[in-house]
Chains A and B, each alone.
Chain A
Amino acid sequence: MEDLLGNIYCWFESLFGQNLAEHLWGYNCETQVYDGKNLFNSIGLITAGVSLAFVLAYYYLPLYLFNHPRSNRWWNWLIILLIAGIINFFIAYGWTVNDFLNGNIGDCLMYTRDEQGNIIAQHIFKSDCWLFGLSNLFVSILFFIGWSLVFKWWSRNCKHSPLF
Chain B
Amino acid sequence: MSKLYVFGIGGTGARVLKSITMLLAAGVDCGVDTIVPIIIDRDLSNKDLSRTKLIIEDYIAVNKCVGANGKNMFFKTKISLLEGGLYLQLKDNTQKFDEFIGKRTMTNENKALVDMLFSSRTLGLDMTEGFQGNPNIGSVVLNQFDDSNVFNKFANDFKDGDKIFIISSIFGGTGASGFPLLRKILQTPNVKDSEGKNLPNWGLVNKAPIGAISVLPYFIVGPAKKESQVDSDTFIDKTRAALSYYKTEDKKVDTLYYIADRLTSTYEHNKGGDAQKNDAHFVELVGALAILDFVNPLKAGKNFSRENDNIQKTNYKEFAISSNLKEINFGSLADETKRLIINPLSRFLLFSKYMGYSVKLKDIDGKNVLVVELNESNDTFKKEHKHQPYARKRFTGEFRQEDTVKKLESIQSKYLEWLLEMENQERKFAPFNLMSANCNDYIKGDLSVSKLKEFPYKNWARVDDELNAQIRKVDKSLKNDECFLELFYRVSEKLINYKN
Contact = CB atoms under 8 A, between A and B. Distances in A.
Direct contact of A and B (CB under 8 A): yes
A69 B461 CA distance: 6
A70 B388 CA distance: 9
Interface string B458-489: 00010011001100100000000000000000
A69 B465 contact: yes
Contact of A160 (B384, B389, B457, B472): B389
Interface string A68-88: 111011000000000000000
A146 interface: no
A159 B456 CA distance: 19
B389 A63 contact: no
A11 interface: no
Nearest to A156: B468
Nearest to B391: A160
Contacts of A160: 387, 389, 392
A142 B199 CA distance: 80
B465 A68 contact: yes
A159 B472 CA distance: 12
A70 B465 CA distance: 9
A159 B457 contact: no
Which size bracket describes the interface of B in this complex? 10 to 19
Interface string A23-49: 000000000000000000000000000
B392 A157 contact: no
Between A69, A73, A155, the greatest number of chain B beta carbons within 10 A of the residue's beta carbon is seen for A69
Given A72-B387, A156-B468, A156-B469, A63 B392 contact: no
A77 to B, nearest CB: 12
Interface of B: 384, 387-389, 392, 456-457, 461, 464-465, 468-469, 472
B214 to A, nearest CB: 50
Given A64-B456, A68-B465, A70-B461, 17 more contacts: A62-B456, A63-B456, A68-B456, A68-B457, A68-B461, A69-B457, A69-B464, A70-B464, A155-B389, A156-B389, A156-B468, A156-B469, A156-B472, A157-B389, A157-B468, A159-B389, A160-B387
9 contacts: A64-B456, A69-B388, A69-B465, A69-B468, A155-B389, A156-B389, A156-B469, A157-B388, A160-B387
Contacts of A69: 384, 387-388, 457, 461, 464-465, 468
Interface string A3-38: 000000000000000000000000000000000000
Contacts of A72: 387-389
Interface in A118-163: 155-160
Contacts of B468: 69, 156-157
Between B389, B392, B469, the greatest number of chain A beta carbons within 10 A of the residue's beta carbon is seen for B389
A63 B465 CA distance: 12
A13 B461 CA distance: 45
Contacts of B456: 62-64, 68
A99 to B, nearest CB: 41
A8 to B, nearest CB: 32
Nearest to A74: B387
Between A157, A159, A160, the greatest number of chain B beta carbons within 10 A of the residue's beta carbon is seen for A157
A107 B464 CA distance: 60
A73 B456 CA distance: 18
Nearest to B456: A64
A39 to B, nearest CB: 39
Interface in A89-130: none
A157 B391 CA distance: 11
B354 to A, nearest CB: 12
Contacts of B464: 69-70, 157
Nearest to B464: A69
Nearest to B471: A156
B395 to A, nearest CB: 13
Contacts of B389: 72, 155-160
A113 B120 CA distance: 130
Nearest to A71: B461
A38 B384 CA distance: 48
Nearest to A72: B387
A93 B78 CA distance: 69
A136 B294 CA distance: 74
B488 to A, nearest CB: 15
A72 B384 CA distance: 10
Between B392, B457, B468, B472, the greatest number of chain A beta carbons within 10 A of the residue's beta carbon is seen for B468
Contacts of B465: 68-69, 156-157
Contacts of B472: 156
B300 to A, nearest CB: 44
Nearest to A67: B465
In the A-B complex, list the 9 residue pairs whose CB atoms are closest, starting with the nearest: A69-B464, A69-B461, A156-B468, A157-B468, A64-B456, A159-B389, A69-B465, A70-B461, A156-B469
A109 B182 CA distance: 107
A156 B387 CA distance: 12
Contacts of A156: 389, 465, 468-469, 472
A73 B465 CA distance: 14
A164 to B, nearest CB: 9
B439 to A, nearest CB: 12
A18 B392 CA distance: 48
Contacts of A62: 456
Contacts of B384: 69
Contacts of B388: 69, 72, 157
